[in-house]
Amino acid sequence: MTDHPLHLAVALSDVGWHPAAWREDPDGARRLGDPEHWAAQVRLAEEGLLDLVTIEDGLGLQTDGYGPQTPRTDRVRGRVDAVLLASRIAPLTSRIGIVPTVVTAHTEPFHVATALQTLDFVSTGRAGVRLTAGPSAADARLVGVRTFPDFTPDRLDDPEIVAFVEDLFAEAGEHAEVLRRLWDSWEDGAEIRDVPTGRFIDRDRLHYADFRGRFFSVKGPSIVPRSPQGQPPVAILAHGPLPYRLGAQVGDVLFVTPHGDDDLVRILSEVRAAEEEVRRPAPPQLVLGDLVVVLDDDPSAARGRLDRLDALSGEAYASDARIFAGSPAELADLIEAWHRAGYAGVRLRPAATAVDLPQIVHGVVPELQRRGLFRTAYEADTLRGHLGLDRPLSRYARTPDLVEAP
Amino acid sequence: MSPVPKRQVRLGAHFPGVNNTTVWADPRSGSHIDFASFVHLAQTAERAKFDFLFLAEGLRLREKKGLIHDLDVVGRPDTLTVLAGLAAVTERLGLIGTISATYNEPYEVARQFASLDQLSGGRAGWNVVTSSDAFTGENFRRGGYLPYDRRYDRATEFLAIARELWNSWPADAIPADAASGRFLAGEDAGRFAHRGEFFDVEGRFSVPRTPQVEPVILQAGDSQAGRDFGARHGDGIFTLPRPIEEARAFYREVKGRLAAHGRHEDDLLLLPAATFVIGDTHAEAEERAAEIRTQQVSGATAIQLLEAVWNRDLTAYDPDGPLPDIEPLDDGTAIQQGQARRFEDRQEKIREWRARAEAGSLSIRDIAIEDAAWQTFVGTPAEIAEEIDLRVQTRADDGFILVPHITPAGLDEFADRVVPELQERGSFRREYEGTTLRDHLGLPPAGTRRPAVPVPTGVPA
What's A46's DSSP letter?
H
Q: Does B420 touch chain A (CB under 8 A)?
A: no
Q: What is d(CA B404, CA A143) in angstroms, rounded to the nearest whole number?
A: 38
Q: What is d(CA B149, CA A153) in angstroms, rounded to the nearest whole number?
A: 46
pLDDT, average across residues B357-369: 92
Q: What is d(CA B41, CA A316) in angstroms, rounded to the nearest whole number?
A: 52
Of A106, A203, A223, the CB nearest to B70: A203
pLDDT at residue B107, rounded to an integer: 98
Instruction: Count contacts between A and B (CB, < 8 Å).
Output: 228
Mean pLDDT, chain A, integer: 94
pLDDT, average across residues B408-419: 97
Nearest CA in chain A to B68: A203
pLDDT, average across residues B170-180: 95
**Region of poorest pLDDT, from A258-262, A332-336, B380-384, B426-430:** A258-262
pLDDT at residue B133, rounded to an integer: 81
Mean pLDDT, chain B, integer: 92
**Ramachandran region of residue B122, left (φ > 0), alpha (ψ -120 to 50) or beta?**
left
Q: Does B105 touch chain A (CB under 8 A)?
A: yes
Nearest CA in chain A to B118: A33
Q: What is d(CA A340, CA A359) in angstroms, rounded to the nearest whole number?
A: 23
Q: Which residues of A touch B101 (CB under 8 A)?
A: none
How many other CB atoms are found less than 10 A from the CB of residue B189? 21
Contacts of B307 (CB under 8 A, 6+ apart): B64, B65, B313, B314, B335, B336
pLDDT, tens only, B20-68? 889 999 999 999 999 999 999 999 999 999 999 999 999 999 998 889 9
Give the pLDDT band (50/70/90) at residue A2: low
pLDDT, average across residues A70-79: 90
| pLDDT beyond 80 at B249 | yes
pLDDT, tens only, B69-122? 999 999 999 999 999 999 999 999 999 999 999 899 999 999 999 999 999 999
What's A127's DSSP letter?
B
B67–A203: do the CB atoms touch at under 8 Å?
yes
pLDDT at residue B332, rounded to an integer: 78
Q: SS3 for A193?
A: strand
pLDDT at residue B150, rounded to an integer: 85
pLDDT, tens only, A335-350? 999 999 999 999 999 9
Give the pLDDT band (50/70/90) at residue B5: confident
Rounded to an integer, what is the distance from CA B191 to the centroid of its chain?
A: 33
* Helix (H), strand (E) at residue B278: strand B276-278
What's B323's DSSP letter?
P
Q: Which residues of A touch B72 (CB under 8 A)?
A: 200
pLDDT, tens only, A168-214? 999 999 999 999 999 999 999 999 999 999 999 999 999 999 999 99
| pLDDT beyond 70 at B372 | yes
Of B84, B178, B298, the CB nearest to A84: B84
Q: What is d(CA B232, CA A395) in angstroms, rounded to the nearest whole number?
A: 49
Q: What is d(CA A234, CA B434) in angstroms, rounded to the nearest whole number?
A: 41
pLDDT, average across residues A303-315: 97
Rounded to the nearest 10 degrees, the angle between the axes of helix B79-86 and helix A82-89 is 40
Of B58, B60, B111, the CB nearest to A81: B111
Q: Which residues of A touch B338 (CB under 8 A)?
A: none
In A43-194 the beta strands, taken as DSSP E runs, fall at 52-55, 97-103, 129-132, 191-194
Pairing of strands B236-239, B216-220: parallel
Of B35, B183, B298, the CB nearest to A22: B183
Of B78, B187, B210, the CB nearest to A71: B187
pLDDT at residue A399, rounded to an integer: 61
ipTM confidence score: 0.97
pLDDT, average across residues B382-410: 97
The pTM of this model reads 0.96
| pLDDT beyond 80 at B344 | no
| pLDDT beyond 90 at B144 | no
pLDDT at residue A1, rounded to an integer: 43
pLDDT, average across residues A112-128: 98
Q: What is the dihedral of CA B428, B433, B434, B438, to 10 degrees?
A: -20
- Comparing CA positions, the residue from B429, B449, B440, B405 lying closest to residue B95 is B440
Q: Tell which of B37, B76, B81 to mutate to test the A interface (max A CBs under 10 Å).
A: B81
pLDDT at residue B461, rounded to an integer: 39
pLDDT at residue A129, rounded to an integer: 98
* Helix (H), strand (E) at residue A272: helix A261-277
Give the pLDDT band (50/70/90) at residue A404: very low
Nearest CA in chain B to A92: B88
| pLDDT beyond 90 at B270 | yes
pLDDT, average across residues B314-338: 88
Higher pLDDT, B451 or B123: B123
pLDDT at residue A400, rounded to an integer: 55
| pLDDT beyond 60 at A135 | yes
Of B116, B181, B182, the CB nearest to A84: B116
| pLDDT beyond 60 at A296 | yes
**Region of poorest pLDDT, from A101-105, A284-288, B448-452:** B448-452
Q: What is d(CA B319, CA A313) in angstroms, rounded to the nearest whole number?
A: 76
Q: Does B45 touch chain A (CB under 8 A)?
A: no
Q: What is d(CA B44, CA B413) in angstroms, rounded to the nearest whole number?
A: 10
Give the pLDDT band (50/70/90) at residue B1: low
Q: What is d(CA A310, CA A21) in angstroms, rounded to the nearest whole number?
A: 9
Higher pLDDT, B8 or B65: B8
Q: What is d(CA A384, CA A97) in angstroms, rounded to the nearest whole number?
A: 9
| pLDDT beyond 80 at A261 | yes
pLDDT, average across residues A113-121: 98
| pLDDT beyond 70 at A65 | no
How far does A196 lie from chain B, in Å, by closest CA? 10
pLDDT at residue A152, rounded to an integer: 76
- On whether the CB atoms of residues A101 and A55 are closer than 8 A, the answer is yes
Q: Tell which of A37, A62, A70, A88 to mutate to test the B interface (max B CBs under 10 Å).
A: A88
**Region of poorest pLDDT, from A339-343, B357-361, B437-441:** B357-361
How many other CB atoms are found less than 10 A from the CB of residue B75? 23
| pLDDT beyond 90 at A365 | yes
Q: Which residues of A touch B81 (CB under 8 A)?
A: 83-84, 87, 114-115, 118-119, 122
pLDDT, average across residues A296-319: 97
| pLDDT beyond 90 at B134 | no
pLDDT at residue A406, rounded to an integer: 39
Burial class (CB in 10 A: 0-12, 13-18, 19+), B461: exposed
pLDDT at residue B451, rounded to an integer: 75
pLDDT at residue B373, rounded to an integer: 73
Instruction: Report the share of chain A in percent with pLDDT over 90.
Output: 90
pLDDT, average across residues B340-349: 80
pLDDT, average across residues A273-289: 96
Instruction: Give chain B's domains with CATH numbers.
Output: 10-280+375-441 (3.20.20.30), 298-372 (no CATH)
